[in-house]
């Protein structure tokens, strides 16, 4: 390629990421009331729950970008939820189980934990357990506020808060990795949807009225799952067709569930966000957006095509990591890089993938 071509590509990438940064900075900051957000989900949103809850070590190079230290996030830097919080001009969410942070949880709490799913119930940290933790958190907060404690979220604060749910990927992906057939996996979808509906209804009964629900991404494009899958039913982009087909069926069911809940919960607002479309666009058009090797792991071992080896994962002895600032999509085979999360968050904040098309900060205006 000529020098002029390289220069043009470099300028295009710079302009694109400048526009992403601008979109994040001007999107939906709260002005009329404080932003209070409660998050329920898995590792896509876990800001340190696994570490604080189980003491599980998450070492560098996790966190090397932005934080310059490990924060318990499975990424080199910020997650999508971090960028969403920044768009509200509020602090990053503290994990509910982090008793050492000294946080008063004035802007909400994060109940998401790595590995969480909706099923089986009553195992740490399934969705219904996260909801039960919230119920305890709310009761204790109101008790302390009544006794005179300062900087506690009051009853109106809980009512005005946003309740974000991002879960379901592990229910599907784990079913495939346990050698369930495609038909068996599909049959589990209604039960998973029911658990998500029950969570929304429980939070509604606790006074929640503003909900933000993410569908699941194209997990058939996650390098770890592709590398470990015995059945390589790959599509033209190198992703597992059956996995992504299951994701789309799950998302269709979740979409219809969201429509039903809007009818049942008369005074509630529920926004459904098509994360699948956002991530699928990023993966299938990676070079267009300034990324490279969408199915190649930044932090792993083994080299092309996936750089993933279950015996030498990111942070373990012998791992290899791409240069800081590299435009990789996948960080460790399952989780995304900060660069990818930046792009994904900008698309969420655009409202183009939301039903209804309501700005993320609607709950605090």
List 70, 274, 332, 354, catalytic entry:
332
Cβ(119)–Cβ(54) under 8 Å?
Answer: no
User: What are the residues whose beta carbons fall under 8 Å from the beta carbon of 236, sequence distance 6 or more?
Assistant: none
d(CA 222, CA 81): 20
* 3 state DSSP class of 277: helix
The closest of 307, 310, 290 to 298, measured between CA atoms, is: 307
Three-state SS sequence of 45-99 = CCCCHHHHHHCCCCCCCCCCCCCCCCCCCCCCCCCHHHHHHHHCCCCCCCECCCC
Annotated active-site residue 332? The verdict is yes
Environment class of 365 (CB within 10 Å of its CB; exposed 0-12, middle 13-18, buried 19+): exposed
Q: What are phi and psi of 321, to 5 degrees?
A: -135, 145
Which of 28, 43, 52, 330 is catalytic? The answer is 43
Kindly name the residue from 82, 175, 274, 335 that is annotated as catalytic.
335
Q: Mark whether 43 is an active-site residue.
A: yes
Q: How far apart (Å, rounded) are the C-alpha atoms in residues 153 and 143?
A: 10
Within 10 Å of residue 146's Cβ, how many Cβ atoms?
11
267 is catalytic: no
Catalytic residues: 43, 332, 335
């Amino acid at each position: 390629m000529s020098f002029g071509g390289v220069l043009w590509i470099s300028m295009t990438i710079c302009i694109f990421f400048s526009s992403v940064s601008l979109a994040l900075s001007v999107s939906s900051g709260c002005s009329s009331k404080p932003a209070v957000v409660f998050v329920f989900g898995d590792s896509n949103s876990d800001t340190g729950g696994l570490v604080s809850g189980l003491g599980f070590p998450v070492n560098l190079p996790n966190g090397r970008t932005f934080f310059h230290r490990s924060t318990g996030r499975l990424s080199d830097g910020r997650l999508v939820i971090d960028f969403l919080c920044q768009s509200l001009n509020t602090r990053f969410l503290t994990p509910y189980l982090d008793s050492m942070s000294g946080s008063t949880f004035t802007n909400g709490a994060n109940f998401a934990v790595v590995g969480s799913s909706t099923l089986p119930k009553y195992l740490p940290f399934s969705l219904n357990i996260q909801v039960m933790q919230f119920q305890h958190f709310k009761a204790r907060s109101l008790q302390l506020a009544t006794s005179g404690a300062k900087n506690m979220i009051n009853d109106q604060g809980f009512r005005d808060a946003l309740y974000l749910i991002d879960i379901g990927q592990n229910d599907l992906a784990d079913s495939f990795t346990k050698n369930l057939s495609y038909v068996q996996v599909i049959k589990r979808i209604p039960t998973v949807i029911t658990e998500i509906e029950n969570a929304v209804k429980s939070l509604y009964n606790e006074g929640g009225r503003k909900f933000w629900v993410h569908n699941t991404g194209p997990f058939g494009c996650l390098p770890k799952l592709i590398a470990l899958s015995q059945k390589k039913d790959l599509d033209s982009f190198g992703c597992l067709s059956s996995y992504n087909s299951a994701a789309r069926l799950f998302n269709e069911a979740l979409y219809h569930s969201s429509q039903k809940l809007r009818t049942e919960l008369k005074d509630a607002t529920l926004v459904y966000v098509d994360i699948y479309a956002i991530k699928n666009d990023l993966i299938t058009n990676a070079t267009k957006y300034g990324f490279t090797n969408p199915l190649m792991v930044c932090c792993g071992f083994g080299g092309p095509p996936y750089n993933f080896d279950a015996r030498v994962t990111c942070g373990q002895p012998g791992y290899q990591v791409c240069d800081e600032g590299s435009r990789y999509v996948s960080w460790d085979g399952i989780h995304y890089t900060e660069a990818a999360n930046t792009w994904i968050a900008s698309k969420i904040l655009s409202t183009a993938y939301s039903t209804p098309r309501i700005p993320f900060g609607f709950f605090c205006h």
